[in-house]
Amino acid sequence: MSAVSEVTARYLNLYNDNIDRINGISSPYINSFRQKAFEKFTELGVPTRKNEDYKYTNLNVFFDHDYRSLFMPVEADFAKADEFRCDVADLDAQGIVLLNGFYPTLNGKLHQFPNGVWIGSLNEAAVRFPDLVEKHYGKYAQTDKDGLVHLNTAMASDGVFIYVPEGVVVAQPVQVVNLVHAEEDIFNQHRNLIIVEKNAEFTLIICDHTLSPGKFLTNAVTEAYVGENSHFDLIRVQNEHNTACKITHTFIHQEKNSVASSNNLTLHGGLVRNSTYHNLGGERAESNSYGLFLGDKFQHIDNFVSVVHSSPNCTSNQLFKGVLDDVATGAFNGRILVRPDAQGTLAYQRNNNILLTDDAKMDTKPQLEIYADDVKCSHGATIGQLDDESLFYLQSRGINKREARVMLMFGFAHEVIQNIKIEALRERMDNLVMQRLRGELSRCASCMVKCG
């Protein structure tokens, strides 16, 4: 093993200094993963650009910094979280607000809703539903390459637990709003577990916001299990300020005949890295991985996708689109792995990017590993400017060049947004993207921080 880097050493120390406190507030089952994860993190460290999966992203800017780490929720914070209201009109959703990674405990730790769905604190769930948590926790977040997933397993003290029982079709989406609000620079990690049993339907919206202007680092892991014949949609809306770093790792495991989709909409953020892992673990499962990112100034947005076809006759689809302005940079890394038994696989991948300036930069890399014979795979990536002919077409109707450019960029982005099935959210996204493209603030009205 090579010597640990200075940056990694920071987090090893953080672990050693706080592990007793963390163990003290978390459930024994979740604690039982920590030591092994810590060893794995020690081995892998904070990813550097030598790691092929992080080739285009320099994490040191955010990881090599002194943060206050929160392992215990502060009651006063939850009052603040309670005041936060999402203002998306007509969005009929059950809302949960997490402040600095913690589930609000003011009104109890775990609730059952009339439709049978349980929502609450993961720690509490580990105590109340040990069978469920033991069956799924830590089973899908598997990686030999990304030390940050192990850092999360080693130290995250809580997060959201959602359980959708067999046969329950939840018409109303659940919205989790992740707020970061602190006087100091903070580092936070949270851990979510979502279980959607057989023949169920469920939509989860995760909104990432920053409410105060400090330097923030978030490293979040979400594990989702999608049972046989079930539908699961995950929509993540990211709107953080330029000194915030958001790292998410989402692992979606699918059983037979299930359909799952993930949609990462990055409107704003200093450094964003979304890793989305799809495992098609049962026959005839279908997965969709979508992403849209808009970057400007010094922002950097990196999407990493891994789709593993473990079973026959599954379909996967990746569509990621980005618009980069100023000196913003972006990366897309899309991996498709078709295992030997996964005959009849259909796997598609597309990544289209528009660079608005000569200094914006995009790196895109498809990775296909195919070990089965009966497979249909396609991938395509483009990096370009706005199409002159399309611009002229709009201008020839009397639309000025600036407006025509905004319309074209919007049309480009809309291809991703249109996959959102909830109308109110789709309209809000259209509006936010339009504002963002016009150079206006794209923050939601109830947000107090001016992004950018």
Partner 1 sequence: MLVIDNLKVAINGKNILKGISLKIRPGEIHAIMGPNGSGKSTLAAVLAGRELGVVTGGTVTYYGKNLLEMAAEDRAKEGIFLGFQYPIEIPGVSMVNFMKTAVNEHRKHKGLDPLSASDFLKLMREKKELVEIDSKLANRSVNEGFSGGEKKKNEIFQMAMLEPKLAILDETDSGLDIDALRIVANGVNKIKRADNSFIVITHYQRLLDYIVPDVVHVLYDGRIVKTAGKELALELEEKGYDWIKKEVENNILV
Which one among 11, 67, 187, 412 touches partner 1, defined by CB under 8 A?
Answer: 412
Residue 90 vs 387, nearer CB to partner 1 = 387
Q: Does 410 sit near partner 1 (CB under 8 A)?
A: yes
Residue 234 vs 417, nearer CB to partner 1 = 417
Which residues, numbered 388-407, are part of the site for partner 1 (CB under 8 A)? 389-390, 392-401, 403-404, 407
Least distance (Å) from partner 1 to the CB of residue 134? 46
Which one among 142, 382, 418, 431 touches partner 1, defined by CB under 8 A?
Answer: 418
Least distance (Å) from partner 1 to the CB of residue 417? 8
| DSSP tally for the chain: helices H, then strands E | 11, 20
Least distance (Å) from partner 1 to the CB of residue 387? 8
Long-range contacts, stretch 6-14, CB < 8 angstroms, 24+ apart: 6/64, 7/45, 7/46, 7/59, 7/60, 7/63, 7/64, 8/41, 8/42, 8/45, 8/46, 8/147, 10/63, 10/64, 11/41, 11/46, 11/63, 11/151, 12/38, 12/41, 12/42, 14/69, 14/155
Least distance (Å) from partner 1 to the CB of residue 413? 7
What is the token pair recorded at 11?
């987090």
Which one among 414, 421, 426, 438 touches partner 1, defined by CB under 8 A?
Answer: 414
Q: Does 423 sit near partner 1 (CB under 8 A)?
A: no
Torsion of CA 203, 446, 87, 323, to 10 degrees: -60
What is the token pair recorded at 53?
């999966």
Q: Does 77 sit near partner 1 (CB under 8 A)?
A: no
Q: What is the rounded CA–CA span in Å between residue 184 and residue 213?
A: 9
- x/- mask, partner 1, residues 252-291, rule CB under 8 A, reads ----------------------------------------
Q: Does 411 sit near partner 1 (CB under 8 A)?
A: yes
Piece in contact with partner 1 (CB under 8 A), picked from 7-15, 85-93, 263-271, 384-392:
384-392
Binding-site residue total for partner 1 (CB under 8 A)? 24
Residue 427: Cβ-neighbour burial (10 angstroms; 0-12, 13-18, 19+): middle
Looking at residue 314, the DSSP 8-state letter turns out to be -
Q: What is the rounded CA–CA span in Å between residue 409 and residue 406?
A: 5
Closest CA to 219 of 295, 151, 280, 265: 151
Q: Does 427 sit near partner 1 (CB under 8 A)?
A: no
Q: What is the rounded CA–CA span in Å between residue 205 and residue 98?
A: 13
Least distance (Å) from partner 1 to the CB of residue 57? 28
Which residues of this protein are in contact with partner 1, per CB under 8 A? Answer: 387, 389-390, 392-401, 403-404, 407-408, 410-415, 418
